[in-house]
Structure 1
């Protein structure tokens, strides 16, 4: 492992060219922290807000990025084996400490999630925050239960598709909307029970299927 890394740094809020690629020292993890070699990271509206100066609690200069996927490079506390696939997200990443827009990121072990997958890193990099958004909405946000029904607007978005899969795993009846009829198969393939073509009157379509609503 080298002593330096490339990272995308924001010195202060500004236009897109305020983001600059620089060589920085590779962070040294303390006990309870994990150094991750970043293989991929997702882009989120949160980072746009940070660049535009709309996010609170951000200190500068800062390496942005609220999520990352990669492998464990160093773990002085022994929580995870070196080389193991992991993802991390949120918890101050890219706000109060440097985030995933770099070749390495150092995060608390408590926000590292191990996994094993043969998927390409370009796919895995898009998963953490997207999946957490869908899962958190179903659990913390809605407290959804087996046997209930749910209407997912924007069903063919990544969050919408993930929410449908997770809802079916919870034995829920899933209704999803799309504006395009050629997306119907994509939704039924992930288990959606009822695909609604958004014609501006989704409520009527829902009532036709579930008179009591979702």
Structure 2
């Protein structure tokens, strides 16, 4: 099989495309043919050597859509279409940046869907994360929402999820690059706000805020939340992992609420619920760019560039 390996931390050019043996079946694990996967910012952090538990060489990739090839698991059978995400995939053991992968049975989820492959591949990590945040934010009709990190894959997924069920709800986005404003508004945003040095250049306030920039900007987000509003922090696009110098009494302003969602909180029931929501409300699943496995360097370079926009997938 073909696989993309990282032997040492570095930039997008550290990937090495190799021919390797297809993994062999072992007890408690199944062999999966990878049909495609999305590229995620956490994989960029790992490639850069910023995931302390990861050792190289490693095949990255924390998600995939695939088919069961070999298995001993009673809930699986060869030929089934499956989704797998998280569970130390691509970190403690080799992940999805390959034509085949060996995965623990407990994190292989056989799903029922009629979505075309490229749309299904765009869903697992990105739309699942957005859907979890959508539920924790308790989005309802009439809410005004800010998506902080508007051009990111999760940000655009959240926009799609909200507008599909609540087309009259106003959804604003923030961006560090206002040259993306027209493109973002074409995607459905009602307005784009400049995020300058992690400070929103507006006096607007919102019922709900999806905080994807993370610890580097979350305190400023509380300056823009309405009474009884909710902020969901589930991204770290700002490059900071932890929130320091945070006083809950003073910083949780306007009797507001702080929640989060972690895509590692996954089950077949929750994944299928997300897929059913996409089908029921005819959510438009946007795929910005599609790469091949041997173009993984170009894919990583793109997602790190100023031109990066939306969900990037690889079809094997």
TM class, shorter-length: 0.7 to 0.9
Q: How many pairs were matched up?
A: 198
- Contact persistence 2:63–2:83 (CA under 8 A): yes
RMSD over aligned Cα, in angstroms? 3.1
**1:132-183 Cα distance to aligned partner (Å, 9 max, x none):** 22123334xxx32354833223445432232234446787955232652464
What's the counterpart of residue 192 of structure 1? none
Q: What pairs up with 1:126-145 in 2 under 5 angstroms? A: 126-139=122-135, 143-145=136-138
Distance in 2 (alpha carbons) for counterparts of 1:206 and 1:41: 34
TM-score between the two structures when normalised by the length of structure 1: 0.75
- Contact persistence 1:154–1:177 (CA under 8 A): yes
- Contact persistence 2:184–2:192 (CA under 8 A): no
Q: 2:44 aligns with which of 37, 45, 48?
A: 48
How much does 1:30 deviate? Answer: 2.6
Structure 1 gaps, min length 5: 189-194
**Are residues 204 and 90 of structure 1, via their aligned partners in 2, closer, same or farther at CA, if it must alter by over 3 Å?**
same
- Contact persistence 1:155–1:187 (CA under 8 A): no
Distance in 1 (alpha carbons) for counterparts of 2:54 and 2:227: 45
Q: Secondary structure at the match of 1:26?
A: coil
Q: What pairs up with 1:39-118 in 2 under 5 angstroms? A: 39-115=35-111, 116-118=113-115
**Are residues 197 and 20 of structure 1, via their aligned partners in 2, closer, same or farther at CA, if it must alter by over 3 Å?**
closer
What's the counterpart of residue 204 of structure 2? 204
**Are residues 33 and 71 of structure 1, via their aligned partners in 2, closer, same or farther at CA, if it must alter by over 3 Å?**
same
Structure 2 gaps, min length 5: 195-199, 208-224, 230-316
- Contact persistence 1:164–1:174 (CA under 8 A): no
- Contact persistence 1:66–1:100 (CA under 8 A): yes
Q: 2:18 aligns with which of 6, 22, 32?
A: 22
How much does 1:111 deviate? Answer: 1.8
Distance in 2 (alpha carbons) for counterparts of 1:16 and 1:155: 24
Q: What pairs up with 1:6-17 in 2 under 5 angstroms? A: 6-17=2-13
TM-score between the two structures when normalised by the length of structure 2: 0.54
How much does 1:130 deviate? Answer: 0.7
